[in-house]
Amino acid sequence: MHYKFSIRMIWIIPMILLLLLTACTPRSDSSEPRADGKVEIDFWTFWGSETRRPIIEKIINDFNASQDRIIVKHTYLPFGDIWTKNLAAVAAGNPADVIINDYANVNLRASKNQNTNLTPYLQKDNIADTFYPELWENVLYNNEAYALPFNTDTRMLYYNKTAFKEAGLDPNDPPQTWAELEEYAKKLDKKSGQTYEQVGFYPLWGDFGVDSWLMNGDNGNGYFDANDQTTINTPGKAATLKWLLSWQDRLGRQTVDAMKAEFGNGQSDAFISGKVAMYIQTGTYNTQLEEFGKDMDFGVAPIPERESGSGHWSTGGGFVVEIPRGAKHPAEAWEFMKYLTGVDAQKYWAMENFDNVANIEAAKDKEANQNPVYKASVQNLESTKLFPIPLSAPDYKNLINPHMDAVFLGQETPEQALAAAQQDIQSLMAQNK
């Protein structure tokens, strides 16, 4: 009798544990309809900073107040983490309803069934023409849209007008070609013995990398053409790589590395501190100049072109809005996406963040364009290229970058590097077929 009771007690323990475990499982918010009858959708972003969070949440609150059917809930996830969590959520069948995602691999996510084809919604509300064509092309997969462009950026040459005057250069006549850029840079160099007090320009400082220069020097052609064929080993890119190397040869690699390591943020920024007279950055760099370089007299110009007529090509990036595959409320998500990419929200985002936006009308708004730097950045979008990930070689950068490094370390010639990079990429593409 006593033993039977004990046995019964033993069996109860794991059952109790299981019940407790079940009770601890968090209940999903969206599984219950709201008392007010509204549909709640979950919106994931990585904008949690003091600056960005109030801006995006104001846009959300305005949307929530503008209609009585949908409530958007903002979920912040750290930059980077948001992508891996999205992957896990999509795989688990419990994703957000709307997510801000990276522009570069919309097509990769589409090919992997991670986002939603927006064609049915676009047939009802065709808003394709409201976006910059380059940005719209970027969200297509098999000629169908899987995201809406949200924001973007573009890179420009910032130059120090005071330094120009001191060097006897016209402060309202920035360099237009590579030859002028080099000529002006040499005049702007200031040396104290063997040490540079000011460097006129170095192409790889700032926010314009080897990839971008290779594109700029090759008539706007990146590593892949429209048919997914490699265009890495081209005469334009070879000439560009030699040209970039000549800058390092002139200044000295040790000088380049040492000075770059000294660059900081804010007051110690390369351009603001006067270490560099010309510097390539995005349009949003202006906010740093306003905050830390109040007395600076500077101008902005398009990226110099290789030779007259070859094109002031620049590179851009940005973020898109997507409906992850398996979202519970795609129709409501679409309504919110339309609002996010509409004129009012985009103009608000542009003005509060000093950021470039995807909506053409909002970007060209007169009020926003009263700022000359912003206006210049909007104009620069016309010659700005985006480079989505090629599906046949999605991790191409891991194979190309080492060869570019080897050139600047003197271990490969430009010709060798481009030939080897092309071969590596073609090998990778062959694997992925």
Partner 1 sequence: MKAMIGQKRPKISKLARQEERQGYLFILPWLIGLFGITLFPMLFSLYASFTNYDVTSRMDFIGLDNYRRMFTDDPLFWRSLSNTLYYVVWMVPLTTIGSILLALLLNEKVVGMRFFRTIYYLPAVLSGVGVYFLWMQLLSPTSGLINTLLSWIGISGPAWLSDPMWTKPAIIMMKMWAVGGGMLLYLASLQGVPAQLYEAAKLDGASVFRRFWHITLPMISPVIFFDVITSFIGGFQVFQEGYVMTENGSGGSMNSLLFYNLHMWHKAFTVFDMGYAMGMAWVLFAIVLVLTLINMKLSKRWVYYEGEDQ
Choose, by CB under 8 A, the member of 266, 397, 410, 415 that binds partner 1. 397
* Rounded to 5°, angle at Cα 256 from 312 and 232: 45
Among all chains, which residue has been given the structure tokens 């706007």?
Answer: 220
Choose, by CB under 8 A, the member of 406, 413, 419, 426 that binds partner 1. 406
| By CB under 8 A, residue 245 contacts partner 1 | no
| By CB under 8 A, residue 19 contacts partner 1 | no
- Which 8-state DSSP code applies to residue 137? H
CA–CA separation, 53 and 126 (whole Å): 30
Quick one: which segment of 61-69, 185-193, 269-277, 392-400 binds partner 1 (CB under 8 A)?
392-400
| By CB under 8 A, residue 395 contacts partner 1 | yes
What H or E segment, with its residue span, contains residue 141? strand 140-141
Choose, by CB under 8 A, the member of 62, 257, 290, 291 that binds partner 1. 257
Supply the minimum distance, in Å, between the C-beta of residue 254 and partner 1.
Answer: 8
With contacts defined by CB under 8 A, how many residues of the chain interact with partner 1?
39
What H or E segment, with its residue span, contains residue 56? helix 52-66
Say how many Å lie between the first and final Cα of the chain, rounded.
71
Quick one: which segment of 154-162, 185-193, 232-240, 421-429 binds partner 1 (CB under 8 A)?
421-429
- Which 8-state DSSP code applies to residue 128? G
Identify the sign of the CA torsion 200, 202, 208, 213. positive
Q: What binding mask, one character per residue, do residues 91-130 give for partner 1 by CB under 8 A, x or -? A: x----------------x--xxxx----------------
Q: Which amino acid is at 161?
A: K
| By CB under 8 A, residue 204 contacts partner 1 | no
For 49, half-sphere exposure in the C-beta direction (CA atoms, 13 angstrom radius) is 4
Task: Name the 3-class secondary structure at 394.
Answer: coil
Query: The tokens of 362 are what?
Result: 């909002």
| By CB under 8 A, residue 14 contacts partner 1 | yes
Choose, by CB under 8 A, the member of 13, 20, 35, 226 that binds partner 1. 13
Choose, by CB under 8 A, the member of 90, 167, 276, 386 that binds partner 1. 90
Identify the sign of the CA torsion 167, 170, 171, 175. negative
Residues that bind partner 1 (CB under 8 A): 3, 7, 10-11, 13-14, 17, 80, 83-84, 87, 90-91, 108, 111-114, 257-258, 261-262, 325, 394-395, 397-399, 401-402, 405-406, 409, 411, 424, 427-428, 430-431
